[in-house]
């Protein structure tokens, strides 16, 4: 093979090696069998399904709704309309006991992969963890003082936070409002804590679409009405 052909082949292989630069980027577990077993010790089997907003009958509306519910613009690479999402359904015998789902969100030091293990009945978080995190505060963010705060929360709590922020600021019932970065988090890692909060919320919004038939929408609608009421006051 001549030198020109070698260069052409090398360029072609380089393109294959970096599809992330040219297409949507999903988020999957590195070792699903062992990862899921560590999250659900009672697991006997699991199923892996790929979900895409673009393949839903109302996919475009769902994508616009995601942007509205997350708040702010979506990243054109990691949060594009055609991003594939991998949903892991966890079973104990014939009973579905949970879901595991991950999302990519932009962080200070690069993409952050935020995964949630949630209960199949309550939709509440059993465990939040990072699969990828490059941050000057990585050790603090991965610690139980940070990740453990999310256990027991659901999308309803995040929507209720929107309501409380508008109608009853500083309410003791606002569970999401009590989330705080770990005390030993370096100041330059605070943006990664904020990205984490966004990633958890985004993850729950997608799970509401993919797994829970949008059961939390009434909480969102109530928060919207609360904000409208506040804006209408002189």
Q: What is the pLDDT of residue 226?
A: 87
78 within some domain: yes
Range of the domain at 211: 21-232
14 within some domain: no
Encoding tokens for residue 135?
A: 């941050």
Q: What is the pLDDT of residue 232?
A: 55
53 within some domain: yes
8 Å CB contact between 180 and 91: no
Which one, of 234, 212, 216, lies nearest residue 158 by Cα? 216
pLDDT in tens, 3-25: 444 444 443 333 333 333 345 67
225 within some domain: yes
The position carrying tokens 């949060």 is: 79
Q: What is the pLDDT of residue 24?
A: 64
3 within some domain: no
Q: What is the pLDDT of residue 5?
A: 41
| Alpha carbons 142 and 138: distance in angstroms, whole number | 6
96 within some domain: yes
91 within some domain: yes
- Length reported for the chain: 234
pLDDT in tens, 216-225: 999 999 999 9
Q: Are strands 125-132 and 85-92 parallel, antiparallel or unpaired?
A: unpaired
8 Å CB contact between 129 and 122: no
Q: Which DSSP symbol is given to 125?
A: E
| Ranges in the chain, pLDDT < 70 | 1-24, 230-234
What is the number of structural domains in the chain?
A: 1
Q: For 25-49, b where at least 16 C-beta lie within 10 A, e where not — what string?
A: bbbebeeeeebbeebbeebeebeee
2 within some domain: no
State the pTM of this model: 0.88
| Alpha carbons 234 and 74: distance in angstroms, whole number | 32
User: Per DSSP, which regions of the chain are E strands?
Assistant: 45-51, 85-92, 95-107, 110-119, 125-132
């Amino acid at each position: 093979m001549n030198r020109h052909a070698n260069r052409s082949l090398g360029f072609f292989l380089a393109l294959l090696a970096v599809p992330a630069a040219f297409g949507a980027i999903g988020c999957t577990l590195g070792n699903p069998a062992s990862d899921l077993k560590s999250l659900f010790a009672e697991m006997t089997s699991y199923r892996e399904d790929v979900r895409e907003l673009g393949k839903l009958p109302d996919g475009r509306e769902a994508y616009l709704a995601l942007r509205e519910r997350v708040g702010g613009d979506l990243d054109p690479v990691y949060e594009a309309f055609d991003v594939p999402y991998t949903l892991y359904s966890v079973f104990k015998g014939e009973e579905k006991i949970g879901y595991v789902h991950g999302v990519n969100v932009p962080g200070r030091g690069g993409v952050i992969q935020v995964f949630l293990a949630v209960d199949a009945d309550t939709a509440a978080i059993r465990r939040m963890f990072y699969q990828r995190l490059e941050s000057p505060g990585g050790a603090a963010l991965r610690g139980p003082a940070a990740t453990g705060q999310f256990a027991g929360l659901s999308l309803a709590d995040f929507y209720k936070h929107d309501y409380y922020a508008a109608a009853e600021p500083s309410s003791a019932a606002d569970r999401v409002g009590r989330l705080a970065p770990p005390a030993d988090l370096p100041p330059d890692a605070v943006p990664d804590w904020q990205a984490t909060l966004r990633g958890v919320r985004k993850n729950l919004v997608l799970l509401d679409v993919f797994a829970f038939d949008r059961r939390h929408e009434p909480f969102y609608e109530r928060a919207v009405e609360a904000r409208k009421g506040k804006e209408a006051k002189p």
